[in-house]
């Protein structure tokens, strides 16, 4: 199964992605984790990415697409993967479509985790990451709504989009996700 997981910062994608990859034995491709690891390791890409991340901006497409392209060719992706945090823009989605078409591995589903803004702000304030300052949080939500939200229409036109209510406890949310994914097995 090949899945894209979309949702605003604080929606719980990371938590639910872990449950999905464990339950369905998928490779977890989290651009956030890959970028944080590169930042911590002070790699060239990590230092470049850090400048953008600390200001609540997205890392440029060419950097992210290069990371994803390499990762999709890994052996653990052959039996399926979950993309978490990518694509975030229409150009990234088009580049991903091209990569997947080239590899003859089309997407099965795009899951959107929906959570109201007031709940997102509360969750992010409690999370306590270095990049979760109030002004940065508001900017990240603004950037998400401007750049990522159009992906929902893009994937809806391809009949791939399924929206999941991201409110409730972790297990309630996962049960809704599992119910949706089990229809594709």
* Nearest-angstrom CA–CA distance, 55 and 40: 17
As a whole number of angstroms, the distance between CA 58 and CA 69 comes to 18
Contact assessment for residue 68 and residue 16, using Cβ atoms and an 8 Å cutoff: no
DSSP string, 90-136: HHHHHHHHHHHHHHT----EEEEEE--HHHHHHHHHHH--TT--HHH
The Cα 9–Cα 124 span in angstroms is 8
Contact 80, 4 (CB under 8 A): no
Q: What angle do CA 103, 91, 98 make, to 5 degrees?
A: 15
Q: What values do phi and psi take at 178, rounded to 5?
A: -60, -40
- Please identify every residue annotated as catalytic: 13, 88, 127, 129, 140
């Amino acid at each position: 199964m090949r899945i894209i997981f979309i949702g605003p910062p604080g929606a719980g994608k990371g938590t639910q992605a872990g449950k999905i990859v464990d339950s369905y034995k998928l490779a977890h491709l989290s651009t956030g984790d890959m970028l944080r690891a590169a930042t911590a390791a002070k790699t060239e890409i990590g230092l470049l990415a850090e400048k953008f991340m600390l200001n609540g901006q997205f890392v440029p497409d060419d950097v992210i697409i290069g990371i994803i392209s390499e990762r999709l060719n890994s052996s653990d992706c052959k039996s399926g993967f979950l993309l978490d945090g990518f694509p975030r823009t229409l150009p990234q989605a088009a580049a991903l479509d091209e990569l997947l078409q080239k590899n003859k591995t089309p997407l099965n589903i795009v899951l959107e985790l929906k959570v109201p803004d007031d709940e997102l702000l509360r969750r992010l304030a409690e999370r306590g990451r270095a990049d979760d300052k109030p002004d940065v949080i508001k900017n990240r939500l603004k950037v998400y709504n401007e750049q990522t939200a159009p992906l929902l229409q893009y994937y809806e036109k391809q009949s791939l989009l399924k929206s999941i209510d991201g409110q409730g406890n972790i297990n309630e949310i996962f049960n809704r996700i599992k119910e949706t994914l089990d229809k594709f097995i």
